[in-house]
Amino acid sequence: MNNDIIKIKQRFNLVGNSHLFVRALKKALRVANTNISILVSGESGTGKDIIPKIIHENSARKHGQFIAVNCGAIPEGTIDSELFGHEKGAFTGAINSRKGYFEVANNGTIFLDEIGDLPAATQVRLLRILENGEFIKVGSSQVEKTNVRLIAATNLNLLEAVEKNQFREDLYYRINTIEIEMPPLRLRKEDIHLMFRKFVSDFCSQHKMPSLKLTDKAISLIEKHNWPGNIRELKNFAEKLCVIEEKRTLNDNEVNNHLLTTPNTGSLVVKKSEENNSFSEREILYKILFDLKNDLNDLKKITLDLIQGDQTNETLKTNHAERIQRIYSDDKSLEVEKIDTNKSEIIDQEIIEENLSLQDNECEIIQKALEKNAGKRKMAAKELGISERTLYRKIKQYDLS
């Protein structure tokens, strides 16, 4: 590791020796003395915000302003005013003229964090500044000039955003002259314990607490952990152990207890990935079940209406109730824990194969309706909830007398 990298790490209080991290620092130093636009990419919590500071401090613009702007934290209605300024009276509440960040950062560096959240109209204004340094304040018609170095950062895949028309393609290629990628913590396993010790030391020193150490097995455990929240999650975890644990040397079991209670831990992620296949299969089974239930809804409604419409005919009611019971439980491949003939709810089931004949059920119900109404088709059709013409067609289809 060369002296420049060591000085950078000391200057910005950085910890880490992994080749991916060192490569990102070297890349930042190489581009610092140029004026080209930089895109810093990486997952949330990987420390993307440190790269723009390194570039600015090692550039010819280091005596100018460095302004960091979180694009996702500014409301869409005011972001143009924040970035480019506005004139007095440009909108309600604009009682004075105001300089925007690009005007204030003239001859300096502006860092646009979460640039993927910029509205489409603002992207057009930004593209004009990058191309010729020109901008117009909100509420003004006068073109103004600025000379800024733009560094952008995002945890989104901007190419996917371009394909979905959520980000301008010309702006993407304009800001992505050089990309510096900050690696996630899971790819910097050799740095995890170093960073953990630093966070513990800083926190214990700040709060005047005894320092905390880990056994070899505990160190191996945190190095194997996934850390989806990256550096931010590791820092919070270190501070949590300092506060909660009375012991100052923790073994792997004690550390693992805290990892298991941390959302999205590596162990839980592995468990979830193992369960993905079975979960998908369950979803398919439930979908088949619900489709089957929809197919039976009409039949069930007609049957229940017949039961409720003839309170005096206990024999008919019993027959229909038994028929519903058969529909949901006779097939050996459909397991039902509970059947309610009034609500017909299915509590839990596993479907392997379904072999119900709706035509047989429909034929039987029509036959019973005709018998109940002494062969009077009009009354039978009314009770079944279908037209007389449809009933006639069904009688002919099933060859019913």
Distance of alpha carbon 57 from the chain centroid: 35
329-359 pLDDT, tens per residue?
Answer: 544 444 434 434 444 444 344 333 444 456 6
Query: Is the residue at 276 inside a domain?
Result: no
Residue among 99, 196, 177 nearest 138 (CA): 99
Query: Is the residue at 273 inside a domain?
Result: no
- 388-393-396-397 Cα dihedral, nearest 10 degrees: -140
Residue 156 has pLDDT above 60, yes or no: yes
Domain hosting residue 316, numbered range: 296-398
Q: What pLDDT score does 348 carry?
A: 41
User: What's the average model confidence in pLDDT over 264-283?
Assistant: 44
* Lowest-confidence region among 21-30, 60-69, 203-212, 322-331: 322-331
Q: What pLDDT score does 273 carry?
A: 41
Domain match, 232 and 377 both? no
Count of positions (residues) in the chain: 401
Domain match, 35 and 111 both? yes
Domain match, 167 and 121 both? yes
CATH number at residue 260: 1.10.8.60
Choice between 176 and 272, residue whose per-residue pLDDT is larger: 176
Residue 181 has pLDDT above 90, yes or no: yes
**Proportion of the chain above pLDDT 70, given as a percent:** 74
Choice between 335 and 163, residue whose per-residue pLDDT is larger: 163
Query: Is the residue at 122 inside a domain?
Result: yes
Query: Is the residue at 198 inside a domain?
Result: yes
Query: Is the residue at 388 inside a domain?
Result: yes
Query: Is the residue at 105 inside a domain?
Result: yes
67-87 pLDDT, tens per residue?
Answer: 999 998 888 888 999 999 988
Distances (CA, A) of 287 to 45, 280, 300, 333, 344: 38, 11, 19, 16, 18
Q: What pLDDT score does 379 carry?
A: 85
Last residue of a domain, one of 183, 199, 221: 183
Residue 175 has pLDDT above 70, yes or no: yes
Q: What pLDDT score does 296 carry?
A: 64
Confidence of residue 50 (pLDDT cuts 50, 70, 90): very high
Domain match, 336 and 353 both? yes
Last residue of a domain, one of 241, 264, 287: 264
Domain match, 30 and 160 both? yes
Domain match, 118 and 49 both? yes
Both structure tokens of 349: 């089931």
Both structure tokens of 322: 């038994």
Q: What pLDDT score does 388 carry?
A: 81
Question: How many Å apart are CA 112 and CA 97, to the nearest integer?
Answer: 23
Q: What pLDDT score does 331 carry?
A: 47
Q: What pLDDT score does 31 carry?
A: 94
Question: How many Å apart are CA 169 and CA 160, to the nearest integer?
Answer: 10
Confidence of residue 271 (pLDDT cuts 50, 70, 90): very low
How large is the C-alpha radius of gyration of the chain?
A: 35
DSSP 3-state percent helix, strand, coil across the chain (nearest 5)? 55, 10, 35
Query: Is the residue at 212 inside a domain?
Result: yes
Residue 109, SS3 per DSSP: strand
DSSP string, 257-319: HHHHTSTT-HHHHHHHHHHHHHHHHHHHHHHHHHHHHHHHHHHHHHHHHHHHH-TT-HHHHHH
Question: How many Å apart are CA 55 and CA 34, to the nearest integer?
Answer: 9
Both structure tokens of 39: 């895109």
Residue 112 has pLDDT above 80, yes or no: yes
CATH number at residue 92: 3.40.50.300
Domain match, 141 and 199 both? no
User: What's the average model confidence in pLDDT over 151-178?
Assistant: 92
Confidence of residue 282 (pLDDT cuts 50, 70, 90): low
Domain match, 49 and 95 both? yes
Residue 302 has pLDDT above 60, yes or no: yes
Domain match, 204 and 132 both? no
Domain match, 44 and 164 both? yes
Domain match, 67 and 105 both? yes
Q: What pLDDT score does 351 carry?
A: 38
Q: What pLDDT score does 227 carry?
A: 93
Question: How many Å apart are CA 198 and CA 154, to the nearest integer?
Answer: 26
Question: How many Å apart are CA 1 and CA 155, to the nearest integer?
Answer: 28
Query: Is the residue at 92 inside a domain?
Result: yes
Domain match, 51 and 170 both? yes
Q: How many degrees, rounded to 5, is the angle at CA 71 between CA 69 and CA 76?
A: 130
Domain count, the chain: 3
Confidence of residue 287 (pLDDT cuts 50, 70, 90): low
Residue 144 has pLDDT above 60, yes or no: yes
Last residue of a domain, one of 140, 165, 183: 183
Question: How many Å apart are CA 309 and CA 305, to the nearest integer?
Answer: 6
